[in-house]
Amino acid sequence: MAAKKSSSKKRSKKTLRVGFIGCGAISNAHAHQYKEIDGVEIVAGADVVEANLDKMHNEYGVETDNLFKNWKDMLKNVDLDAISICTPNWLHYEPAIDAMNAGCHVMIEKPLAMNAIEGEKIRALARKKKLVCTIAFQHRFEPATQMIKRAIDAGSLGDIMVAKVHAMRRRGIPNWGVFGQKKLQGGGPMIDIGVHAMEMTHYCMGCPKPIGAMGMTWTYMGNKKSNAVSMWPNWDYKTYDVEDLCVGHIRFENGAVMQVDAMFAGHPSPEMEGMKFEVLGTKGGATKQPPALFYDKDGTMINATPHYLPKNDMWVTKMNNFVDAIRKGTEDKSPVEHGLMIQKMIDAIYESASKGGKEIAIK
């Protein structure tokens, strides 16, 4: 696509001009919600795939002169307020740095980066330039997660001692993208889906500081051809070099611990499948799936289920959180600091697994 400098003179103070770095599948969820927010305009996109750029023009009305193969050209030639980074994990760091150096607020798809070293540099630049840097953690905005968060914040469950976290698929290796390539993804299910289960649990716990972690990984299915009928068959097993299963244990500064299991492929029971968590506190406990609270009242052990939870779309809330933090200065409920703590946990679990399960200190 040809580059054309957009005139800042035409920019309305009331309009938030958004661009995309990465216009593939996940960008659709971002773009769909941006289109529903008053005063937000999708004006540019960058992607190496021509078909993805065509989609931005045909479905979201982006002018062809504002579509680029290189994000650096987009940042140079288009006047933008904010960027959604919807690229594979290995392309989170450099685009985020470039976008913030161009003065743009950024939303980065999970995880924050390939490792905490990159993540710390992103955090430091965001703070230096006083820009909103949001991590795309949508599951913390689910109604059931918010229910448990309110109960913990109110002190109804006491001090949280243990969190048990699951992100388990019986046969759910993505058959698209680079999810099976460690050099481009950073890992397998722990960094891809475990990150979601961890972030919503850690958020409910009040985001305590992690101080140590240990873990183990196993690869036993993904690197082999499978004849089992599944929702995503025929993944690229020849290039698959990430784990099928990762189990981790994290210690926090406040004395709490988190146990986390993340699986792309295996043989879990139906009760273990899905993305869920349970917390155990000194006064009560809770589960996200099904949503329930457990406590004692008047000499009786009570199991309490919500009579009503709103049908809140977590994606709507996530995107509005980002936009409102920019335009209204409201609290960013999914800030880069939270993403960095999760990244440190994942890094430590993987490092521990590479060293036979030895605990790794988190600084």
- State pLDDT tens for residues 30-75: 999 999 999 999 999 999 999 999 999 999 999 999 999 999 999 9
- Predicted local confidence at residue 280, as pLDDT: 98
Does residue 2 have a pLDDT over 80? no
pLDDT(6) > 80: no
**Dihedral sign computed on CA atoms, order 289, 347, 263, 185:** positive
> What pLDDT score does 14 carry?
77
Residue linked to tokens 């448990």: 148
How many other C-beta atoms lie within 10 A of the C-beta of residue 58?
Answer: 9
Helices (H), the chain: 25-34, 50-60, 71-77, 93-101, 116-129, 143-153, 182-185, 189, 195-204, 314-327, 336-354
Whole-number pLDDT of residue 25: 92
Q: How far is CA 309 from CA 196, 290, 294, 312, 347, in A?
A: 21, 12, 17, 8, 35
Give pLDDT tens digits for 179-199: 999 999 999 999 999 999 999
pLDDT at 329: 96
Residue 48, token pair as written in the block: 């190496």
Structure tokens of 44?
């540019």
Per residue in 79-118, pLDDT tens? 999 999 999 999 999 999 999 999 999 999 999 999 999 9
Distance CA 362, CA 127 (A): 22
Cα–Cα distances in angstroms (integers) from residue 337 to residues 282, 342, 347, 361, in the given order: 27, 9, 15, 18
Question: Looking at the predicted structure, is the pLDDT value of residue 5 above 80?
Answer: no
pLDDT digits (tens, 9 = 90+) for 309-343: 998 889 999 999 999 999 999 999 999 999 999 99
Mean per-residue pLDDT over the chain, rounded:
95
Which domains, from first to last, does the chain contain?
Answer: 8-136 (3.40.50.720), 139-312+335-361 (3.30.360.10)
Q: What is the pLDDT of residue 11?
A: 40
pTM here? Answer: 0.93
252, pLDDT greater than 80: yes
Q: Could you give the C-alpha distances from 181 to 90, 130, 188, 237, 291, in angstroms and in order? A: 11, 34, 8, 10, 35
pLDDT value, residue 13: 57
Instruction: Give the pLDDT band (50/70/90) at residue 303.
Output: very high
pLDDT score recorded for residue 1: 43
Residue type, 46: A
Question: What's the pLDDT score for residue 7?
Answer: 38
Confidence of residue 361 (pLDDT cuts 50, 70, 90): very high
Among 185, 259, 257, 182, smallest CA distance to 215 is for 259
> Residue 127 above 50 pLDDT?
yes
